Structure 1
Amino acid sequence: MTLSLLSHVGRLPDQGILIDGQWRPAADGASWTHTHPATGETIGTFPIATESDVDKAVHAARIAFDEGPWPRSRAGQRVKLLHRYADLLRANADELRRLQALDNGVPLSFAGIYATSVEAAADVFEHHAGWIDKVGGETLPPYQGGDHLAMTFREPIGVVAAILPWNAPFLLYAQKVAPALAAGCTVVLKPSEFATFTVLRMVELLVEAGLPDGVLNVVTGPGNPTGDALVTHPLVDKVSFTGSRAVGRHIIEASAGTLKRVSLELGGKSPTLVFPDAPDVGLAAMTTMGTVTMGLSGQACVAHTRALVHRDVYDDFLNAAQLLAGMITYGDPFDPAVLSSPLINAKQLDRVLGYIERGKDSGARLVAGGSRVDGDLAGGNFVQPTIFADVDNTAELAQEEIFGPVLAVVPFTDEDEAIRLANATEYGLGAGIYTTDNRRAFRVARALRAGTVGINGFQVEPHLPFGGFKQSGLGREGGRSAFEAYTELKTVLMPLTDELM
């Protein structure tokens, strides 16, 4: 029977553009029709914000920053509001998970995994609320002669353009909005056109929590025209973006004219290094293959899509990875037996299938998957979990971010070779190491050029900085470093006598 999700639609947020506390349609009445990636069915519509809409949203944020109470509010007021909001997120978690399933097809079975959960988003808001009354400046002794006071202050950076991807709307919304609001900034938020309803509902809850008008504004729509108008606006002080490397480069170029501050998380080709003394080779294989196939079907920036495996345990790793691949189920995201999602749209489906076909011709050995899921699910953007063995580390399969359920397995002989192969990439977001030798684990972790390295496991935590080396991005999200990224550091000098400094 052909899959249909229309019975799950229910109530959707029916407003899209939020400017100075007022929901409104697009200036020209244009709208985006969201079709579900699992079925192609129309789920709902929302406005496409024009350049005029974006301009009004930025001006609202500018006025709220320059004249409004939020940047000048007492620390306790911001703390209480963000905690109140975290409670509202948790109280509405079931509804938010349903909206995510209707947006991007991520199954409810995966929405409880911490890093992609509503609970993680709530924790991020509470974590950054905790920094509000703790991050300050310094009082420094005079360096030269004279009696004066030298001080530094951290002040909110201003108007922030926060641009979200579609794959993990709970966490990535929180990682941008929470530190920006905690620091006292105002925000213009653009959700992905492929995961808008989830974000709109989270914004509705933030309004309900009591956020003053104009502090958070929302513009919905695709990169062109909505995103372009936002990143080029002269009144935006900072752009925070998660998405593709190509768009990240465009944002850097577009922001150069006004020297906007920029935070970018641009993906990766993260390696897992499996040594012969791994505590459990089979578990290492299943964990690695799980990041590539479960939940998001490999559509995650930090998915460990390159497995560098010692030759002594190479076959054991492949056997276990194939076992996990055979366990992945697709279909109705509201079915608890479904473990993974479709690819987000037809363009991404064609892109991933193209990589697979070129991989078959590259000399790599296809050991699992390699085609679309057929039968009753043929109308969706589903691709089988795919494993290529004996991959040349310089090949496309091992170097480019495919953003699909495709694992490239590369053999190595010794530690030095493993490190060299792992670092031989333009990316540097994450990495995993599997070994029982603690000295090796620490030695290899320090040698890897990656922002986050997991030893015998990998996870994302609200209080830890997350971001990449090399072309995986600029800056960090999470922890104190994220809060400080939404501030400017000011130095103030004051004489303590009548003599001039």
Structure 2
Amino acid sequence: MPLTVLPHRDTAGLSEGQLLVDGKWRAAADGELWRHRHPATGEDIGGFAVATVSDVDEAVRTARRAFDEGPWPRARAGERIRTLHRYSNLLREHTAELQALQALDNSVPLSFGGIYTTSVGAAADVFDHHAGWIDKLGGDTLPPYQGGDHLAMTFREPVGVVAAILPWNAPFLLFAQKLAPALAAGCTVVLKPSEYATFSVLRMVELLAEAGLPDGVVSVVTGPGATVGEALITHPGVDKISFTGSRAVGRRIVEASASTFKRVSLELGGKSPSLVFPDAPNVGLAGMTSMGTVTMGLSGQACVAHSRALVHRDVYEEFLAAAQMMAGAITYGDPFDAGTLASPLINERQLERVLGYINRGQEEGARLVTGGSKVEGELSTGHFVQPTIFADVDNNMAIAQEEIFGPVLVVVPFTDEDEAIRLANDTEYGLGAGVYTADSKRAFRVARKLRAGTIGINGFTVEPHLPFGGFKQSGLGREGGRSAYEAYTELKTVLLPLTEELM
């Protein structure tokens, strides 16, 4: 029997998604709709408005007016704190509804909703965390440097109108990582969700109004990045762009920001390594964990997936056996079924891309251990690819250097610590890494030498209060923690004389 998600769509009561501008939901100016096809079944589950250039212009102008004249940037700290806490509570109350909408968007299974970093609870925690900064992060009062009788003070003020552009793979967390610090700082936001994960984001935005956020503070423009995103990033009324996605789009954003010197935060992916030493506390667990990051839940469609495993030759085969066991445990199917553990690839273009890399890996001489094909049979209408492992990979191969964004683990052997570090850093990316060893001195020694933004020792996670971002071509800036809040502010210096004399 062919897989279908239409009964779940009907239960969710999806309506045609609209734009939100100046506190009002409405259709696009020309009435155009994007039809969203479910990646696991190919079924049409609904449509949403495709914003025109004039729609984007109105949204930005609304955000500018709300920033220049509205109450939110001037709200007392206590009011902002209470609003964001109310919102985090609403997210928790609507967890089941939001997870169902995400399963209709991108087919991430409900079984994965409890994994912290992709959960609604993590998004709620991010809002709580940034609410806590509102009454704590200010400027300084400094003594005069040259004499005279005056005060030298600094203030942190909101950066202005923010364009927040989301990817499709983790809409809950990335919505929170962008909007929570922006709203905490007093900014206004024009949000563009991915066309492949819109319905869950629209519901999250609706809950902002229930929490008491004033009209116009957040607007939403939906549709493809090539048109809607381009209109947003090039708009002269935008003060800052926050984007998570591909390097190609990141480069375009940097180019577009130059004309008005927009502030930019970019998270652009990775090719993160796991370094497994022979004294790892549990080599088998390291193998299962590495394979799990490229299969469980998102099927490797995660920026920080540890898709390169650098494994010491003494434990190489033990690692491979455990990784292969993990690959065999992955199940695909209905995202609403508790037995489904992983998602399909998001669209046909990504399916062809991943299969192309798998073919290229074989052509380059890597050893295909398991997987390597599209899943056929009852799931043939979906974009499912078998969990795939390549062994005996040379670090110069394309599959070791380029972000595949699919359920593919490449395993590279090494002989000693220096070689492992060299291989780990031999990449254009630098988002994350894992170090598996029982030697605490080695763990810290290696972690300090790795050129990556987040290093996990014998495990890996993302926390709301910690900065997250990358070195090299993995992006600019950080999300999470104090650094994220500061990124949505401008630092102003004020000099105040205390006498009638000039400074």
In the alignment, which residue of structure 1 is the partner of 2:380? Answer: 378
Deviation readout 1:448-471 (Å, 9 max, x if unpaired): 000000000000000000000000
> What is the SS of the residue equivalent to 1:119?
helix
Aligned pairs, number = 501
> How far apart are residue 224 of structure 1 and its match?
2.3
Moved over 6 A (4+): none
Measure, in 2, the Cα distance between the counterparts of 1:442 and 1:70: 44
Contact 1:308/1:409 (8 A) holds in 2? yes
Match of 1:333 among 335, 345, 350: 335
Which residue is 1:342 aligned to? 344
Partner of 1:282: 284
Q: Secondary structure at the match of 1:154?
A: strand
How many angstroms does 1:14 deviate by?
3.6
Residue of structure 1 in register with 2:192 after alignment: 190
Distance in 2, Cα, partners of 1:246 & 1:188: 22
Shift of 1:145: 1.8
Q: Deviations over 1:337-384 (max 9, x none)?
A: 000000000000000000001111111000010001111001100000
**Distance (whole Å) between structure 1 residues aligned to residue 322 and residue 310 of structure 2:** 15
Cα distance change, pair 164–13 in 1 and its aligned pair in 2 (3 A):
farther
2:141 corresponds to: 139
Conserved? CA contact 1:117–1:170, under 8 Å = yes
- Give the equivalent residue in structure 2 for 1:24: 26
For the 8 Å contact 2:15–2:46, the answer to whether it is kept is: no
Partner residue of 2:483?
Answer: 481
1:393 counterpart residue number: 395
Partner of 1:312: 314
For 1:15-414, what aligned pairs fall within 5 Å after superposition? 15-414=17-416
Alignment pair present for 1:2 and 2:5:
no
2:308 partner letter = R
Aligned amino acid, residue 312 of structure 1 = D
> How far 1:242 sits from its partner (Å)?
0.1
Letter in 1 for 2:411: V
Contact 1:13 1:197 (8 Å CA) reproduced: no
Structure 1 residue 225 displacement after superposition? 1.3
SS in 1 for 2:79: helix
Distance 2:381 2:68 in 1: 51
Q: Which amino acid aligns with 1:251?
A: I
Q: Distance in 1 between matches of 2:5 and 2:235?
A: 39
**Counterpart code for 2:6:** L
Instruction: Name the amino acid aligned to 2:479.
Output: E
Q: Which runs of 5+ in 1 are unaligned?
A: none
- Quote how far apart the aligned CAs of 1:142 are: 0.4
Which deviates more from structure 2 when the two are superposed, residues 263-272 or residues 3-12? 3-12
**CA shift at 1:13, angstroms?**
4.9
In 1, Cα distance between the equivalents of 2:82 and 2:360? 54
- What TM-score results when the alignment is normalised by the length of structure 2? 0.99
Amino acid at match of 2:3: L
TM-score w.r.t. structure 1 length? 1.00
Q: 2:300 & 2:30 partners in 1: Cα distance?
A: 37
Residues 115-161 of structure 1 deviation map (CA, whole Å, 9 limit, x = unaligned) = 00000000000000000000000000000021110000000000000
Q: CA deviation at 1:209?
A: 0.9
Structure-1 separation of matches of 2:16 and 2:6: 17
Task: Confirm or deny: 8 A CA contact 1:129 1:182 kept in the other structure.
Answer: yes
For structure 2, list consecutive stretches of 5 or more residues without a partner in the other structure.
none
> 2: distance between equivalents of 1:256 and 1:386?
41
1:18 counterpart letter in structure 2: L
